Amino acid sequence: MAARPIWKGELKIGTTRIAVKLYSAVTDRTVRFHLLDDKSFLRVKQHMVDPDSGSEVPAEEITKGYEVEPGTFVVLTDKDLESLQPKPSREIEIAEFVPPDQVSQQWYDRPYYLGPNDGQDAYFALVEAMQKRNVEGIANWVMRNKAYIGALRAVDGYLVLCTLRAASEVLLAQQLPKPAGREPTQKEFAMAKQLVAAMEGEFNAAEYKDEYRERLLEFIEKKAKGHKPKLSRAKAKRASTSLDSVLQRSIAALKKGKKAA
Residue 3's pLDDT is 83
The Cα–Cα gap between 28 and 6 comes to 15
Asked if 18 and 115 count as a contact pair (C-beta separation under 8 A), the reply is no
**What is the phi/psi pair of residue 134, to 5°?**
55, 60
Confidence of residue 160 (pLDDT cuts 50, 70, 90): very high
Cα dist from 18 to 3, 10, 13, 259, whole Å: 20, 5, 8, 55
Q: Are strands 91-98 and 7-13 parallel, antiparallel or unpaired?
A: parallel
Going from the N-terminus, what domains does the chain have, and what CATH number goes with each?
7-26+85-169 (2.40.290.10), 182-198+242-261 (no CATH)
Confidence of residue 180 (pLDDT cuts 50, 70, 90): confident
Residue 165's pLDDT is 95
118 Cβ contact partners less than 8 Å away, ≥ 6 residues apart: 19
Q: Which of 10, 15, 13 is nearest to 133 (CA)?
A: 13
SS3 123: helix
Residue 125's pLDDT is 95
Question: Considering the entire predicted model, what is its pTM?
Answer: 0.77
Cα dist from 56 to 45, 50, 52, 121, whole Å: 12, 6, 11, 59
Residue 239's pLDDT is 53
